Structure 1
Amino acid sequence: MSIPPPHARVVIIGGGVIGASVAYHLTKLGWNDVVLLERKQMCSGTTWHAAGLIAQLRASQNMTRLAKYSQELYGNLEAETGMSTGFKRVGSITAALTAERHEELLRQASMARAFGVEVEPITPDEVKAKYPHLNCDGVTGGVYLPLDGQGDPSNIALALAKGAKLRGADIFERVKVTDLRRDGRRVTGVNWQSEEGRGTIACDHVVNCAGMWGHEVGKMAGTNVPLHACEHFYIVSEKIPGLSQLPVLRVPDECAYYKEDAGSILLGAFEPKAKPWGMDGIPESFEFDQLPEDFDHFEPILEWAVNRLPILAETGIQTFFNGPESFTPDDAYHLGLAPEMDNVWVAAGFNSIGIQSAGGAGMALATWMDEGEKPIDLGDVDISRMQPFQGNKTYLFERSKETLGLLYADHFPFLQKTTARGVRRSPFHEHLKARGAVFGELAGWERANWFANEGQSAAYNYTWKRQNWFENRAQEHRAVRENVGIYDMSSFGKLRVEGADAETFLNHVAGGNMSVPVGKIVYTQFLNSRGGIEADVTITRLSDSVYLVVTPAATRLADETWLRRHVGDQRVVITDVTAGEAVLAIMGPNSRKLLQAVSPNDFSNIANPFGTAQVIEIGMGLARAHRVTYVGELGWEIYVPSDMAGHVFETVNAAGEAMAAKLCGMHMMDSCRIEKAFRHFGHDITCEDHVLEAGLGFAVSKDKPSFIGSDAVQRKRDNGLERRLLQFRLKDPEPLLYHAEPILRNGEIVGHLTSGSYGHTLGGAIGLGYLPCKGETASELLASSYEIEVAGRRVSAEASLKPMYDPKSERVKQG
C-alpha cells in the first residue's frame, strides 16, 4: 500500500531510529493501526551518520535503566527480525587527563555500582594495556565498562522498523506531513502529501519523532519542542594494517571519542563552542546530506588526537564528515505527552545519544501511551520541564552553541550554563546583584545562589571539592540558624485556582484536606494512581472560592498541566500568576523581630500560627505573609505585588542591616533543608516514590473521601512499607555528597542517595536515600552499620528516620 490509510490509532512523524523504536514498542504492546510517516527515506536525517556508540551509564538511575534496555534489545533484534544490527559489546574506556576529571570518573564508577552497571576504575598503565595505541602522557586514570558496545545505526533503525511491520505497522516513505488538524487540546488529523497525492489521516494520537524538524512539527501541533540543530564533526581514517577490535575510547578533556570501525579509526568531537545550523530552516531537499567541511573548526581537536593516538599521524583521512544533530537547552532529550495538548506525544532532541537511547525511550513512551501513566520517573527528560520561552529561536541559537560542548565538559556540581542567560529576572534582581549576588539559572530564572563578600570574585570557581563559595554558604546557613536570613523565592510557581468548585476539585487532586478556613496553608502532594508523587506543593486558601498553589520553579508548567488534565467539568479557572508577585523569605530565630520592625501587624503564634497566612502592611505597601519554611526555622514568606517589590525589599533590608541580617541564596536553602530532611521534588520524591514510603503520610488526609491515589495509599497502609527514605550524615566531616552515591548496609550496596548537600550545623555531609525494609521494624533498620561510597572510598555514616536537625520542629513553631 503506497497511500496512507484514512484513519490510524497513532501517527508517528519521523522515520529515524526514534520513530522506528516507538512504532516497534507500540506494536509489541498490541497496538493496531500504527502508521509511521517519513518525509524522505528512513534514517535520512541524523540516524544514518550517527557514530553508533552504545553506553550503559547515564546520570540517573532511570536513564541508566533505559540505556541498559537499549543494549539488551539491540542484542536480540537480529534473532527476532533477521536483520543484523552490528551490535558488539566491545567495552569502553574513558581516560582522564586532570585530577578533577579523575575525581569525576571515580564518582561515576561509584554511581555505576549503585545502578548495577559493571564498571572498573583503571590506572594509566591499565588504560594503556587495554588500548595499546594510546599515548598515556598526562593520563591520570580511567574507567572501563566491559559491557558497553557499538552498533550500526541505520541497521538498528531498520531492524526496529521491520519488527514493527511484522506486527502490522504501516511505514510510508516520501510522505511529508504538511499540517495537523486541531480541535481544542487534541489533534484530530494529519495532513500529508507525496508524489502520489495528498490526504488526511484521522487519528487518536500523534507522536513527534521528527528529530531536527521536531521544533517545526511541534508548532504544527500547537506544542513547544525546544531544540536546535548543530554541526557535528568526525573523521574516518584510512585502513590501518593490523588494527584489531578496540574498546570505544573517550578522552573528554580533549573533546574526543575514538571508535575502531572495520579497520579504521573514527574520531569524533564535542568541541566547547559549537556551530548552530539551520537558522533559516532545513532545506526541503535535505536527505542523507552532509554539511560543508570546516577544517579550521576541527583542527584543534585533530591536533590533540594525533598526539593522543600517534597512529593517526601515520594514516591518511578517508572521510571528513560534518552532519547536523539536534540539541536541547539542557542536553536532555524530550519525551512524553506535550503539556499544551492531550494526545500529542514527543520523542525528539537526543543530543547525539539517539542510538543508545532509542530502545529505552521508545519502550518508555509506548508504555506511557498504553497505560496512561509514566512507567518510571522520567523527570530528567519529560517534555513538560521545558518552559514556553525556551522555544524562542534566538534563545535556542545562543544556547545550542554551548550544549553540544557540555557533553564532554567537566560535569562539576553546580555548573552553571553561560549562554542565553538573563531571560527571567525577579523584581529583586538588581537589588541583589548590587549586593554581591552570584546567580544561577533554573527554568530560565536568574536566582541568587550565594553572595560574594566584599573584595571576593562574584563568580563560581568549579571543583569537586569545596568550591569558592563554600564558606559563604556556611555564613548564610549560620545566619538563618542563629539570627535571620533574607532570600528571594520569587521564581517558585504560583497557580491561582478559583471558582465555585475549587475546594472540591483540589480535594480530588491533592492528598491533603482542602476544606480548611481562609488563610490556612496546607502542605500536600498530587498523587498518581499508584500513590506516587506527581507534585509537591503548598496550597493556601485565600477566600471561599480561591486557592493559591505554590510549586517548585522547575515544575510549574508540569504541575499546572496536571491540574488542567484533571479539571473535567468542574467549575474552576486555573491561572499562572507567578510573575504577579515577588516573594521575599525572612527566616531565622529573629525573623519575627525583623517583621515587627517593618510592619504593624501581629506575628504572634496566636494571631499567625505556623501554617497560616495573613494580609499585612509592610513599609508603605501591602503584602501577604505566609508562615511556612523550607529551611526548618521560624520564618515567613512575604508575597508582595511586583510593583511594590522594590520598596518592600529596601524597607526589609534597611531594618535587617540594623540586626546584622544576611542576604542568602539558594545553596543555603538546600543545605538547611537537607539538615531538616525536607524532601526535594525530582530527587527525593518522584512519581515512582510512594507518598508513605517517602515519609509523607502526615500530609495525606485520612478524613476525606476518595482522591487520586487514595486506594494505593490505603493498600500501602494495609500491606506495609517495602522501602523507607532515610537521612544519612557522614561521620568524617571532609567528604562531600551530591547525589547517586551508593548506600552500603553491613558492607553491601542496598541503594543510593537521592540528594546530598553539606550540613553546616550538623558538621558533615548529609544525604537522603531509600532502603528496602520489607518486614523490618524501624529499630531493626537502624541497628545496621551504614557507609556511603564517595569516589570509590567507603565512609562511615549515621542513619536516621527522623530529621537529625530539630526532629520535633520546635524551632519552626516557637512563640
Structure 2
Amino acid sequence: MAPTLNIEQLNSNPSPQRIIIVGGGIVGAALAFHLSKAKSDYHIILVDKSLENLLGSTGHAPGFVGQLNESPVLTRLAKDTVQDYLSIPGGFETVGGLELSSTPSGLENLQRRQETARGFSLPAELLTPEAAASLAPDFIDAKSVRYCVHFPTDGTANAGIITSYYVDQARTRGVDFLEETVTGFATNRDDGISNIATIKTTRGDINTEGSTVILATGIWTSSLIGNDNSLVTQFPIPIVPVAHPYTFTSPRPRRVGTSYPFVRWLDHHVYARDHGDRDGLGTYDHPPMQLDPTGSAIGAWPSSFNQVLSDASSNLRNGTEFQVQGQSTHLGEPWVADKPFNGIFSVTPDNLPFAGRVPDVANLWLAAAIWVTTAAGTAKLLAREILGDSEHSTTPEDKALLDALNPARFQGIDADLLVRQSLSKYNDIYNRET
C-alpha cells in the first residue's frame, strides 16, 4: 500500500485534532479502523516503517485465538476480539481448540478451566481421548493422552487478512498513512507535565505539538521510549522481547472434511495447528531467551532450538513430518517462509498488555504487548476511552479493564526484577504449573 502523505505535508498542517498511531500491525490497524468509525473531526495518521510488509509479530503469529484465559481481563478482551474478527471475510475460522493432559494435576486443571469457561458463557466439554483424537487424528494419539477439553467457539485468525481489512476500511474513512522508520521521541514540559513534541524518524522529525500519540509498536516499544538517551516516561514499561521456535511440515494435499482444531499439549508446552497445505507446531518448553529485535520480528536461530523442536514434535502422531533444523539466519539475510523460524514476541511481568494513557506524558498512549488473541478487543476499548464522548464513553467494566492494563502499574518496582518476572512468565503461558 502506498503512503498517502509525507512528513512535510503532515508538518505543514498542524492540528490539535490529530491522532498519530505509530505501528501498523494488527493492533495499530485495528485502532485506526475503530477510531475512524466515530463521527468526529479527528485526523488519524498511521505511521509504520513498511506499509507493504508486516515486519512485526503480526506477520508470523500462529493465529490461534483461545478465548479462555486465567486472567478475566484477557478473557473479556478475547471474546470481544472474536466478535470483531467474525465480521471480517476470511478473517476467522471457528475450528475450535483442544487442550490435552495425561497427569492427575492436568485433569484438575482442565476441569477447573471447563468450569471457568462456563462462568464466561464459553462452551467447554470434557472429551474422551478417542473423541479428541477423532477431531485431529494426525496430531493426537489417543493412547498417549488421558484428559481432553474441547472449546468449540475458539478458532484461528488470519492476521494478514484482518490487518489488511482494517487498513482498507480505515483508508476509505479518511485515515492517512505515512511510511517512515520511527527512531525515538523528543519531549517538552509544560506546567510539570511532559508532552511528546516530536516523533523522530530516519528521514526527519514529525511535529506532534497538540497531537495524541499512540504507540502500537509491539516488541520495539521499550527500546523506543525507555532508553537512557531519551527517556520518555519515568514509569517502567517492561515489555520484554523473547525468542520462540515455530516449525512446519513439508507441503501436503489439503485435508478433506472438517478443519482440525488447534491442539495444545499442556503437559509439554506444545501446540499445533492445520495451516491448510501444511501443519505448524510451536513450543514454550525451553528456557526463556530475551532478544534485542532489529529490523523485523524474526530473530537469529539458536542451535538449541533444533533439539527443542525435535522433543516437541515427538508428542504428535505425525511428529516425524515436522522440520526441526532451523534457519541459520544472520542479520540482513531474508527469512524463508514455511521453514523453522525464531519468532520474537513480547512478555510482561503479569502477562497483560499495556493499554492506556501514560500518566506523566499528557499526549502519549500505549497499545503494546498485545497478541492477535486480544488485538481487536483492546483497540475497541482504547478507542472508546480516547474518543470519550457520550456515544463512545467507557463503561464501569471498561474502566476496570483499563485499570488492569494501566501503563503505570509497575511504578516503583526495580527494572531488573521486572525483566526477570517477565521472562518467568514465558513458561507459564499455558499455565502448566497450575
Q: After superposition, where does 1:469-618 map in structure 2 within 5 Å?
A: none
The alpha-carbon deviation at position 194 of structure 1 amounts to 4.8
Other-structure match for 2:45: 35
- Native 8 Å contact 2:103 2:146 kept in 1: yes
> Structure 2: which amino acid aligns with 1:24?
F
Q: Find the aligned partners of 1:19 and 1:340 in 2 and give their Cα distance.
A: 22
Q: Deviations over 1:180-204 (max 9, x none)?
A: 3332324253333354x44423333
Question: Aligned in 2, Cα 1:396/1:384: closer, same or farther, shift over 3 Å?
Answer: closer
Q: Find the aligned partners of 1:90 and 1:119 in 2 and give their Cα distance.
A: 14
The alpha-carbon deviation at position 74 of structure 1 amounts to 1.3
Q: Find the aligned partners of 1:149 and 1:214 in 2 and give their Cα distance.
A: 28
Q: Find the aligned partners of 1:316 and 1:188 in 2 and give their Cα distance.
A: 46
Q: Deviations over 1:205-248 (max 9, x none)?
A: 22121111111333353243211110111001112446352100
- Native 8 Å contact 1:271 1:404 kept in 2: no
Question: Aligned in 2, Cα 1:315/1:100: closer, same or farther, shift over 3 Å?
Answer: closer
Question: Aligned in 2, Cα 1:128/1:311: closer, same or farther, shift over 3 Å?
Answer: same
Q: Find the aligned partners of 1:319 and 1:251 in 2 and give their Cα distance.
A: 22
Q: Find the aligned partners of 1:15 and 1:22 in 2 and give their Cα distance.
A: 9
Other-structure match for 2:142: 136
User: Which TM-score applies when normalising by structure 2?
Assistant: 0.83
Match of 2:96 among 91, 99, 111: 91
Match of 1:22 among 22, 31, 34: 31
Other-structure match for 2:333: none
Match of 1:250 among 264, 271, 279: 264
Other-structure match for 2:277: 263
Q: Find the aligned partners of 1:186 and 1:104 in 2 and give their Cα distance.
A: 46
Q: Find the aligned partners of 1:64 and 1:182 in 2 and give their Cα distance.
A: 38
Q: Find the aligned partners of 1:272 and 1:188 in 2 and give their Cα distance.
A: 39
Q: Deviations over 1:296-344 (max 9, x none)?
A: 23524432422x2222314556511112111111211111122323332
The alpha-carbon deviation at position 98 of structure 1 amounts to 1.1
> Structure 1: which amino acid aligns with 2:351?
D
The alpha-carbon deviation at position 161 of structure 1 amounts to 1.9
Q: Find the aligned partners of 1:248 and 1:382 in 2 and give their Cα distance.
A: 31
User: Which TM-score applies when normalising by structure 1?
Assistant: 0.46
- Native 8 Å contact 1:208 1:217 kept in 2: no
> Structure 2: which amino acid aligns with 1:33?
H
Question: Aligned in 2, Cα 1:132/1:13: closer, same or farther, shift over 3 Å?
Answer: same
Other-structure match for 2:5: 2
Q: Find the aligned partners of 1:142 and 1:57 in 2 and give their Cα distance.
A: 15
Percent of matched pairs sharing the same residue: 23
Q: Find the aligned partners of 1:179 and 1:383 in 2 and give their Cα distance.
A: 18
The alpha-carbon deviation at position 267 of structure 1 amounts to 0.3
Other-structure match for 1:343: 363
Unpaired runs of 5+ residues, structure 1, are 79-83, 413-815
1:365 aligns with 2:376: no
1:323 aligns with 2:343: yes
Question: Aligned in 2, Cα 1:226/1:316: closer, same or farther, shift over 3 Å?
Answer: closer
- Native 8 Å contact 2:283 2:312 kept in 1: no
- Native 8 Å contact 1:27 1:169 kept in 2: yes
> Structure 2: which amino acid aligns with 1:19?
G
C-alpha RMSD of the superposition: 2.3
Q: Find the aligned partners of 2:196 and 2:221 in 1 and give their Cα distance.
A: 19
Q: Find the aligned partners of 2:182 and 2:309 in 1 and give their Cα distance.
A: 38
Q: How many residues align?
A: 393
Other-structure match for 2:406: 382
1:205 aligns with 2:215: no
Other-structure match for 2:236: 224
Q: Find the aligned partners of 2:27 and 2:37 in 1 and give their Cα distance.
A: 15
- Native 8 Å contact 1:233 1:323 kept in 2: yes
Q: Find the aligned partners of 1:209 and 1:132 in 2 and give their Cα distance.
A: 39
- Native 8 Å contact 1:272 1:406 kept in 2: no
Question: Aligned in 2, Cα 1:20/1:314: closer, same or farther, shift over 3 Å?
Answer: closer
Match of 1:12 among 6, 21, 24: 21
The alpha-carbon deviation at position 146 of structure 1 amounts to 1.0
Question: Aligned in 2, Cα 1:158/1:182: closer, same or farther, shift over 3 Å?
Answer: farther
Q: Deviations over 1:616-669 (max 9, x none)?
A: xxxxxxxxxxxxxxxxxxxxxxxxxxxxxxxxxxxxxxxxxxxxxxxxxxxxxx
Q: Find the aligned partners of 1:19 and 1:91 in 2 and give their Cα distance.
A: 27
Q: Find the aligned partners of 1:210 and 1:304 in 2 and give their Cα distance.
A: 31
Q: Find the aligned partners of 2:303 and 2:141 in 1 and give their Cα distance.
A: 24
Match of 2:80 among 64, 69, 75: 69
Match of 2:64 among 48, 53, 62: 53
Question: Aligned in 2, Cα 1:172/1:296: closer, same or farther, shift over 3 Å?
Answer: same
The alpha-carbon deviation at position 128 of structure 1 amounts to 1.6
Question: Aligned in 2, Cα 1:386/1:181: closer, same or farther, shift over 3 Å?
Answer: same
Q: After superposition, where does 1:723-734 map in structure 2 within 5 Å?
A: none
Q: Find the aligned partners of 1:102 and 1:89 in 2 and give their Cα distance.
A: 25
Greater CA radius of gyration, 1 or 2? 1
Question: Aligned in 2, Cα 1:188/1:387: closer, same or farther, shift over 3 Å?
Answer: closer
Greater relative CO (CA pairs within 8 A, separation 6+): 2
Q: Deviations over 1:361-412 (max 9, x none)?
A: 000111111227562421432323222435x2x3354334322111024252
The alpha-carbon deviation at position 115 of structure 1 amounts to 0.7
Question: Aligned in 2, Cα 1:204/1:315: closer, same or farther, shift over 3 Å?
Answer: closer
The alpha-carbon deviation at position 44 of structure 1 amounts to 0.9
Q: Find the aligned partners of 2:183 and 2:290 in 1 and give their Cα distance.
A: 25
SS of structure 1 residue aligned to 2:153: coil
Match of 2:417 among 395, 419, 424: 395
> Structure 2: which amino acid aligns with 1:146?
P
> Structure 1: which amino acid aligns with 2:154?
D
Other-structure match for 1:311: 318
SS of structure 1 residue aligned to 2:68: coil
Q: Find the aligned partners of 2:225 and 2:32 in 1 and give their Cα distance.
A: 19
- Native 8 Å contact 1:243 1:264 kept in 2: no
SS of structure 1 residue aligned to 2:280: strand
